[in-house]
């Protein structure tokens, strides 16, 4: 049993951490910190948790020592406070973007503002269990990946590692739910404008490009990732459609084998590729609330192109659930503890 606290607990990632940790058999939540809602009961902000806990939000200045601190703050905020967090938490899992890249200059290039804690960058382990499991087990500082990065990397990593695709043009078309932009309203999240939209909001220049390339670069030769993001009508979920070009003609069977070998033992990865039924490929809607990353693919009969399809819930496998998966590894718990929810259908 360990004592954990959450900073940024009133946002959507914070709420999802709370939902999962309240039912985690090895965790005692010590404090939930929110600048804005100090003293308010949790159920007022996270209505699904009404009746599940009597805790109220505390202020940052009250933050006490704990075994593990989850940080869910906006980009740029986390680096300002990280010294304090490291002092307070024996271990820290940062769910934001501040410590994902190893190179401060690269960070500045994509985030358009200088990185002020470059000395810490190499102390953080990139928290993707399927790839960095052993490092995570020994880590005390974790940088949780971005949600598009998680699903894209998991789709691409086996292909890059086996060196079967051309690295020069990896095209990722990401379809994003609205929760991904956070819990604060603004004009672009106004329901009459956002409802039913298929909005190309980042045709180019998506920041997660950098961390996908950084990770894949360890396994392949200078991959060039071209990511477009479109907001679609859903609240939770990411679907990526990835177009890659095969170096040489491979059968679907071979590609199956590559994925199976890579992920056979993974508790949270399912290869979804069915010839019948409605759910032949991954779909985010049935993953809501789950820690799964579903992956499927189809070989184009018309070209050497391979289309890989990946889906996650951006708030679970895309952030909070993945962070708890890291916590389980760091703590020697079963990796799936507290993350067993199978998802709903229909939904």
Residues in 98-117 that interact with its own copies by CB under 8 A: none
Taking the least distance from each CB to its own copies, the nearer of 201 and 221 is 201
Cα angle at 299 between 297 and 304, to 5 degrees?
135
Verify whether residue 293 is a known catalytic residue.
Answer: no
- According to DSSP, the residues that pair with 270 across neighbouring strands are 294
Give me the 250-279 binding string for its own copies, x by CB under 8 A, dash otherwise: --------------------x-x-x-xxxx
Of residues 61 and 275, the one with the C-beta less far from its own copies: 275
> Rule CB under 8 A: which of 157-176 touch its own copies?
169, 171, 173, 175
Check binding of 305 to its own copies (CB under 8 A). Answer: yes
Q: How far is the CB of 331 from its own copies (least distance, A)?
A: 22
Q: Which of 148, 293, 128 is nearest to 206 (CA)?
A: 148
Nearer to its own copies, 90 or 260 (CB): 260
Task: Answer yes or no whether residue 224 interacts with its own copies by CB under 8 A.
Answer: yes
Structure tokens at 125: 């382990």
Helix (H, G, I), strand (E, B) or coil at 247: coil
- Told to check if 132 binds its own copies by CB under 8 A, we report no
User: Of residues 147, 155, 293, 326, which has the active-site annotation?
Assistant: 147
Name which position in 54, 112, 138, 191 contacts its own copies (CB under 8 A): 191
Residue 274 contacts residue 298 (beta carbons within 8 Å): no
63 vs 295, beta carbon nearer its own copies: 295
Contact 43, 50 (CB under 8 A): yes
- Side by side, the strands of the sheet bearing 27-33 are 27-33, 2-7, 66-71, 89-94, 141-143, 125-126
Q: How far apart are CA 159 and CA 164, in angstroms?
A: 6
The CB-of-230 to its own copies minimum distance in angstroms stands at: 6
- Does residue 298 belong to the site contacting its own copies (CB under 8 A)? yes
Give dist(CA 42, CA 27) in Å, integer. Answer: 17
Q: Phi and psi of 144, rounded to 5°?
A: -70, 135
Map the footprint of its own copies across residues 314-333, applying CB under 8 A: none
User: Which residues participate in catalysis according to the annotation?
Assistant: 147
């Amino acid at each position: 049993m360990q004592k954990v606290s959450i900073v940024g607990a009133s946002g959507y990632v914070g709420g999802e951490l709370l939902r999962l940790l309240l039912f985690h058999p090895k965790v005692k939540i010590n404090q939930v910190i929110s600048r804005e809602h100090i003293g308010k009961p949790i159920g007022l902000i996270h209505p699904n948790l009404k009746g599940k806990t009597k805790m109220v939000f505390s202020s940052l200045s009250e933050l006490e020592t704990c075994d593990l601190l989850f940080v869910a703050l906006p980009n740029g905020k986390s680096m300002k406070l990280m010294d304090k967090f490291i002092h307070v938490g024996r271990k820290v899992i940062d769910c934001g973007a501040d410590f994902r890249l190893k190179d401060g200059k690269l960070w500045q290039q994509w985030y358009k503002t200088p990185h002020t804690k470059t000395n810490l960058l190499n102390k953080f382990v990139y928290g993707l269990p399927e790839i960095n499991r052993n490092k995570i087990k020994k880590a005390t500082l974790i940088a949780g990946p971005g949600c598009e990065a998680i699903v894209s990397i998991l789709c691409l990593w086996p292909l890059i590692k086996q060196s079967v695709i051309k690295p020069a043009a990896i095209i990722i078309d990401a379809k994003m739910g609205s929760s991904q932009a956070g819990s604060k309203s603004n004009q672009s999240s106004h329901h009459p404008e956002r409802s039913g939209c298929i909005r190309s909001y980042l045709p180019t220049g998506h920041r997660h490009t950098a961390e996908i390339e950084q990770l894949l670069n360890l396994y392949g030769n200078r991959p060039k990732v071209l990511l477009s993001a479109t907001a679609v009508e859903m609240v939770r979920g990411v679907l990526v459609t990835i177009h890659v070009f095969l170096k040489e003609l491979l059968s679907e069977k071979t590609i199956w084998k590559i994925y199976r070998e890579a992920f056979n033992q993974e508790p949270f990865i399912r290869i979804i590729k069915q010839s019948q039924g409605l759910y032949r490929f991954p779909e985010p809607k049935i993953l809501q609330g789950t820690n799964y990353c579903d992956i499927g693919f189809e070989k184009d009969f018309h070209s050497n192109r391979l289309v890989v399809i990946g889906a996650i819930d951006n708030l679970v496998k895309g952030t909070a659930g993945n962070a708890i998966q890291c916590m389980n590894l760091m703590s020697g718990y079963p990796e799936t503890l507290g993350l067993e929810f199978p998802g709903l259908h229909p939904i």
